[in-house]
Structure 1
Amino acid sequence: MGRVGRVVLVTGVSRDLGRRFARAVANDPAVDRVIGVDVVPPRGDIGNVSFVRADIRNPVIAKVIVKEDVDTLVHMSVIATPGSTGGRIPMKELNVIGTMQLLAACQKAPRLENLIIKSSATVYGASSRDPAMFTEDMEARRLPTSGYAKDVHEVEGYARGFARRRPDVRLTMLRAANVLGPHVVSPMASYFRLPVMPTVLGFDPRLQFLHEEDLMAVLQHSVTHDVSGTFNVAGDGVLTLSQAIRRLGRQAVPLPRFAVGRVGLLARQAKLADFSPEQLALLTYGRGMDTTRMRHQLGFEPRFTTAEAFADYAASVPNGRHTSERMLAGVTGILEAGGVGRG
């Protein structure tokens, strides 16, 4: 008797979200087997997932896809935190070179039917020229020249190229808003855990969030529903940065943009947060995404609104009494140097 369900390969299972998604989708009755791939084994229980140690930057990944008879591939290895990979260069290698090798492997996999890529709203950038809401047909007003945003832009471009070469494979790209939840490790989650909340003087950006459980759900929905295309994915509504800070019970410290960048450098040196140029742009201009296509075409409805996702995350954040003296001293130094007075 032949198999009845899908055979799913998930990349990036050594990271918490990848591991948890692989476990969840393995319990879906529409799925026969799940193979988790990463360079190191995941920590914690992976349930019914078969782990294969493999580097997606190595052509050997093609053998894994063919040998395991994979028909559905979920790519979750595009990461936003250089600190977790040993720096920006290894991060770019994993994100861009890894995706290129993975797509080359998919090209050689005749049984592959579905490719699902966890992308990011970061692809739209954040600038003063942005529309109120980005639709999936829009592009960044300023194309990214470096960092995670450039990686995401390149990954999406390679994926579209693959789709043209293999029109028989269903491609689903999910442009997720900033993911938050009690278990999330990300630049945005790290920012909201800072004991001091630097904000850009004169700006109160609008933000959208996606709860980690809704990320799991939309990925699983994409595995089991035959819908192709690119989709913005976010919880309903927006929060302004000032609202988010108030709900955390934190104190905002408004600074000129250059000074916020300096505080970000201090936070990175103190290993408190991964501040990046795209993070600074988001904290200045914000971003909004239209999610009509997610509801009407993909057929997915997030369980958490943006405000509810933030509230659930906020409940897991320490109250801030254990502050970083080094960072507090650094912010004070920037203020005393006249940072606020210089625009």
Structure 2
Amino acid sequence: MSRVVLVTGISRYLACRLAGRLSADPGIDRIIGVDTVPPARADLDLLGRTEFVRADIRNPLISRVISQAEVDTVVHASVTATPHGAGGRAPMKELNVIGTMQLLAACQNSGTVRRLVVKSSTAVYGTSPRDPALFTEDMTAKALPRSGYAKDAVEVEGYLRGFTRRRPDVSVTLLRFANFVGPSVDTPLTRYFQLPLVPTVLGFDPRLQLLHESDAVEVLRLASVSDRPGTFNVAADGVLLLSQAIRRAGKIAVPIPAPAVQFVGRSVRRSGMVDFSPEQMQFLNFGRVVSNDRLKQEFGYTPQYSTAAAFSDFLTGRPVRPVLGEPVLDAGGAVLARLLRTTAPPASRTPASVTRIGSSRRVRNG
């Protein structure tokens, strides 16, 4: 059992909820939340007895925090996918890559750390037309990500592999999460489905695999309180086609020719509506699906929400106002019903005419 747990990125959604779950565990003596900014005032009640420490993991002084508190479990949950939230692409890369390097160095030099949990992403598999139907943990990307969050995640995992070689005595759990949805979590994908007109790539209908926010927090909690070493895809069962998700949200898809996708993506980012990076736009071109068999069999957790159920909870748990609301759908159904009544032949006339034609033919043939 963990006695002192340090969680990075405590001001972010998942880390904050994780710290709240851990603070309710009487077997844990201390929970230390680290970030450069304090948690939002609305989240203070969720943190329970978590101790906030204002510290930057990009600074080597993070090792002092670990040593003074005698931390035995480190949960690295501050890797971010949103450049806007990090202050731009350059600060985002520093936080993701340089921050991870400094944190791993601090863990390597610590004499008390015995467990390390790292939040990664299925984005490390990339997205391309040559992708397999299902990625397993042992597979690599068909086309390595060349920029953005996906490239950061690949580099983070590379540094983590070096750490495991240098510190084989530390139990390391690498969690590759699918895209989060739910009634509370705020991500580029949830904002994408809140757009009144949803841009899609003309001629493509990718498969989406999602993960409910509560399943994500529970997987992090289980990895934090017990040794479950290894690399695990964390994703829900089943998939949704992008077109299905748009229809369920009551939105209108706007197909865009592939050459114009990057321009539209930049325009949407500049508007501030969705902080969508180029690799996330490519994800909406080809999609990505991973196997969660290892999560179920070796890690010992089965997601409580399927992809469809997670998306449904996202729609019902927040004000996602459909463009095609019930009045519009009802009016359309009424118009369609009238058209069917006026164009279809009367039900009583068709059998009678057939009978007369048939009988006249029998008379002539006789």
Same fold (TM over 0.5): yes
Maintained 8 Å contact 2:5/2:74? yes
Match of 1:340 in 2: none
1:113 correspondence with 2:110: no
Contact 1:125 1:149 in 2 (8 A): yes
List per-residue Cα deviations over 1:213-247 (Å, max 9, x = no partner).
00100001111221110000111111110110011
- Deviates most, 184-193 or 312-321: 312-321
- Counterpart mapping for 1:29-48 below 5 A: 29-43=26-40, 44-45=43-44, 46-48=47-49
Question: What RMSD over aligned residues (CA atoms) do the two structures have, in Å?
Answer: 1.2
Residue 274 of structure 1 is matched in structure 2 by 275
Q: Which residue of 2 aligns with 1:89?
A: 90
Structure 2 match to 1:158:
159
Runs of 5+ in structure 2 lacking a partner? Answer: 324-366
- The 1-side partners of 2:128 and 2:256 are apart by 18
Query: Is 2:16 the partner of 1:19?
Result: yes
What CA distance in whole angstroms lies between the structure 1 residues aligned with 2:155 and 2:27? Answer: 32
Q: Which residue of 1 aligns with 2:63?
A: 62
Matched, 1:179 2:180: yes
For 2:2 and 2:73, the matched residues in 1 are separated by: 11
Which 5+ residue runs of structure 1 have no aligned equivalent?
322-343
| Aligned residue number for residue 293 of structure 2 | 292
Aligned residues of 2:177 and 2:235 also touching (Cα < 8 A): yes
State the 1:192 CA deviation: 1.1
Shift in Å at residue 159 of structure 1? 0.7
Whichever residue aligns with residue 319 of structure 1, its letter is R
1:134 matched residue in structure 2: 135
Q: Which amino acid aligns with 2:69?
A: E
Query: Matched residues, percent identical?
Result: 57
Q: Could you list the per-position Cα deviations for residues 128-165 of structure 1 after superposition, in whole angstroms to 9, with x for gaps in the alignment? A: 00010000000111111111000000001101110100
Equivalenced residue count is: 318
CA distance in 2, matches of 1:70, 1:232: 27
Once the two structures are superposed, residues 263-299 of structure 1 have per-residue CA deviations (whole angstroms, 9 ceiling, x without a partner) of: 2222111100012221111101111100110000000
CA distance in 1, matches of 2:315, 2:98: 35
Distance 1:278 1:195 in 2: 22
Query: In the aligned structure 2, how far is the partner of 1:161 from the partner of 1:93?
Result: 19
Question: Higher helix fraction: Structure 1 or Structure 2?
Answer: 2
Q: Aligned partners of 1:284, 1:159: CA distance in 2, in Å?
A: 30
Q: Structure 2: how far apart are the matches of 1:175 and 1:28?
A: 25
TM-score by length of 1: 0.90
- The answer on whether the counterparts of 1:8 and 1:71 sit within 8 Å (CA) in structure 2 is yes
Contact 1:30 1:224 in 2 (8 A): no
CA contact (8 A) 2:238 2:306 kept: yes
Compare CA radii of gyration and give the structure with the larger one: 2
Structure 1: which 4+ aligned runs deviate by more than 4 Å? Answer: none
Tell me whether 1:100 sits opposite 2:101 in the alignment. yes
> 2: distance between equivalents of 1:84 and 1:147?
14
Which residue does the alignment assign to 1:227?
A: 228
Alignment of 1:319 onto 2:318: no
Task: After TM superposition, give the deviation of residue 5 of structure 1 in Å.
Answer: 4.7
Q: Which residue of 2 aligns with 1:52?
A: 53
Shift of 1:175: 0.4
Query: d(CA) in 2 for partners of 1:65 and 1:256?
Result: 51
